[in-house]
Structure 1
Amino acid sequence: MPLLCHNGRFADTLDPVLAGDNPSFKWGEGLFETMRMAAGEIPLMHLHWARLQQGLTRLGMNDAALQRSVLENILRELALRNECAAAGRLRLHLYREGAGLGFVAEAAPLAAADHGWNERGWSIEVFADARIAPDAYSSLKRANYLPYLLAARRAADTGVDECFLLNAQGNVCDAARGNVFVVRGGIVQTPPLSEGAIDGVLRRHLMSLLAAAGRPVQELGLTMEDLLEAEELFITNAVKGIRWVARFRQRTYAHAVCKELYGLLGQPFNNALVAP
């Protein structure tokens, strides 16, 4: 039975760990991070930690209640116990507990599909039933993640790989499991956080890499027409890396720039799955 870690105590994943009055369970108050583990390390941990600290401050939660080194050691130990330290997917959920913080950490083997380049490309559609309202909290990875969950389920139910989410103005702001990028006229573009996009860790990292290379990403609102006119579409996610989109509605896309950026990311985001 895989283990989780609740406030430093390791337990079976099926063991009850949260009280009925837990504010994250009752009202969705809390934050979470999904991270990749590779060879016992967490790539981009400094960005994950910075995002957590910013989110805790914005929600008025005690950002001094947890130490980064303690959490990293717990995540490594959990991955070792669950036999996924070589290549794993980590999830850390933080919630208010009195004057401090509580947490639940999970670790599982990285799915085979999340290794390497997605050769066939993703197919994608739009989930329009729920709209993202841009505000001071919309860029956080909050415990109340319902629109994204419903969009992911719609994708699974309709046989596509992913779904776009729209904001209140009808612009594309995110995908169910990552940030949206397009390439138009050879220029990489992405919705700004003010459009309702999640402040993604790999989004930050890729934008920093491109800025350092003298190819800054343009942040601007993207309409459905913009996506249909783009040469390339891709999604970024700190676990899956870059995933290029091959098909959206009746449109098909190239992936030359996306493949170049995939190489730019370096290990472990561009490693191929090696059979044991």
Structure 2
Amino acid sequence: MINFNGTIVSQDANILTQNRAFLYGDGVFETVKIINNKILFLEDHYFRLMSSMRVVRMEIPMNFTMEYLQEQILSLVNKSALADSSRARITIYRNDGGYYLPQSNTVSFLIHAVALENTLYSFEKRAYEVDLYKDFYITKQLLSSIKTTNKIINITGSIFASENGLDNCLLLNDSKNIVEALQGNIFMLLGNKLITPPVSEGCLNGVMRKQILSLAKKIENLEVVEDVISPFDLQKADELFVTNVIKGIQPITQYRKKTFTTNISDQLLDKLNEMIIST
């Protein structure tokens, strides 16, 4: 089932005819995690979605409030028996008509949800290897910081990772600095300093990134900064990990011949789950 413009319909409903998100990548989206009938970090997701729509000049419907978004997502997961633990994606796209120049800036949306195994965040203690993906680069611009339906770099990078037996790849910007991973933001521990690239470098303005920055500042003797990360820094790092809303925290154990610890990842995972339980 999907929620299409507020109506729950069968998944095989034909809604792709002339769909601009399909034809031109003319859409934005958010992926949220639901635990016990509650959308985690709802406010952050909502405001990023509204900001994304404004950036690409979509017309925001008057009824599209945070409460409306919450109602539409939860109505779907409850009817689909997915309210205990699931992920849902809301995709908003400009309505049919026109070619590159749309005939209208009005929008439609659809929501799709699937079950997740675990409620709280966790990660397996296993090897997790990454390398650089250098076929294409992310540009340092505002569009790179939002979630659009054009994710071809992430797609081709994921294929590259699969073909080379990697668990993930790190993406570079046009200055050849580390921006993020294929599925989330990147954090690097160097001594007592935890570093993540600033949004101005072209990384996604991640919802989980925001949570981790806040939680990390509560760890004693840990300096938290937003700064440029070069590929050379990876060889000196003590720890690397990837963050996103669905997975939470994913430690990286190996980059080429360099191996990493998971001490800060463990601490942040505990703090993240404590925060979720208490809210």
- TM-score normalised by the chain length of structure 1: 0.90
Partner of 2:260: 253
Partner of 2:44: 47
Contact kept, 8 Å, 1:38 with 1:86, in 2: the verdict is: yes
Match among 7, 10, 13 for residue 9 of structure 1: 7
Q: CA deviation at 1:114?
A: 8.8
Aligned pair in 2 of structure 1 residues 137, 187: CA closer, same or farther (>3 Å)? same
Contact kept, 8 Å, 2:121 with 2:273, in 1: the verdict is: no
Q: Which residue identity lines up with residue 237 of structure 1 in the other structure?
A: N
Contact kept, 8 Å, 1:38 with 1:268, in 2: the verdict is: no
Contact kept, 8 Å, 1:114 with 1:240, in 2: the verdict is: no
Contact kept, 8 Å, 1:4 with 1:11, in 2: the verdict is: yes
The question of 1:70 aligning with 2:68 is answered yes
Q: CA deviation at 1:203?
A: 0.3
Residue aligned with 2:75, SS = helix
Percent identity (aligned): 27
Match among 53, 67, 78 for residue 56 of structure 1: 53
Q: Which residue identity lines up with residue 116 of structure 1 in the other structure?
A: S
Q: Which residue identity lines up with residue 256 of structure 1 in the other structure?
A: N
Q: Distance in 1 between matches of 2:174 and 2:276?
A: 33
Q: Distance in 1 between matches of 2:182 and 2:124?
A: 17
Contact kept, 8 Å, 1:151 with 1:176, in 2: the verdict is: yes
Aligned pair in 2 of structure 1 residues 232, 117: CA closer, same or farther (>3 Å)? same
Matches within 5 A, 1:108-257: 108-111=114-117, 115-211=121-217, 215=222, 217-257=224-264
Aligned pair in 2 of structure 1 residues 232, 130: CA closer, same or farther (>3 Å)? same
Contact kept, 8 Å, 1:33 with 1:48, in 2: the verdict is: yes
Contact kept, 8 Å, 2:94 with 2:107, in 1: the verdict is: yes
Once the two structures are superposed, residues 32-91 of structure 1 have per-residue CA deviations (whole angstroms, 9 ceiling, x without a partner) of 111111011111011001111111111111234422212211211211232221110111
Q: Distance in 2 between matches of 1:17 and 1:266?
A: 38
Count how many residue pairs are aligned between Structure 1 and Structure 2.
267
Partner of 1:36: 33
Residue aligned with 2:252, SS = strand
The question of 1:85 aligning with 2:83 is answered yes
**Greater shift in the superposed pair: 49-58 or 113-122:** 113-122
Q: Distance in 2 between matches of 1:264 and 1:73?
A: 28
Aligned pair in 2 of structure 1 residues 83, 158: CA closer, same or farther (>3 Å)? farther
Contact kept, 8 Å, 2:121 with 2:269, in 1: the verdict is: no
Q: CA deviation at 1:129?
A: 0.9
Once the two structures are superposed, residues 130-171 of structure 1 have per-residue CA deviations (whole angstroms, 9 ceiling, x without a partner) of 110111211011111111122123223332211111111111
Q: Distance in 1 between matches of 2:223 and 2:106?
A: 39
RMSD: 2.1
Residue aligned with 1:194, SS = helix
- TM-score normalised by the chain length of structure 2: 0.89
Once the two structures are superposed, residues 147-197 of structure 1 have per-residue CA deviations (whole angstroms, 9 ceiling, x without a partner) of 112212322333221111111111110111000000001211001111110
Contact kept, 8 Å, 2:142 with 2:202, in 1: the verdict is: no
Contact kept, 8 Å, 1:37 with 1:85, in 2: the verdict is: yes
Contact kept, 8 Å, 1:242 with 1:262, in 2: the verdict is: yes
Once the two structures are superposed, residues 216-256 of structure 1 have per-residue CA deviations (whole angstroms, 9 ceiling, x without a partner) of 52111111111121000000001100111111111110011
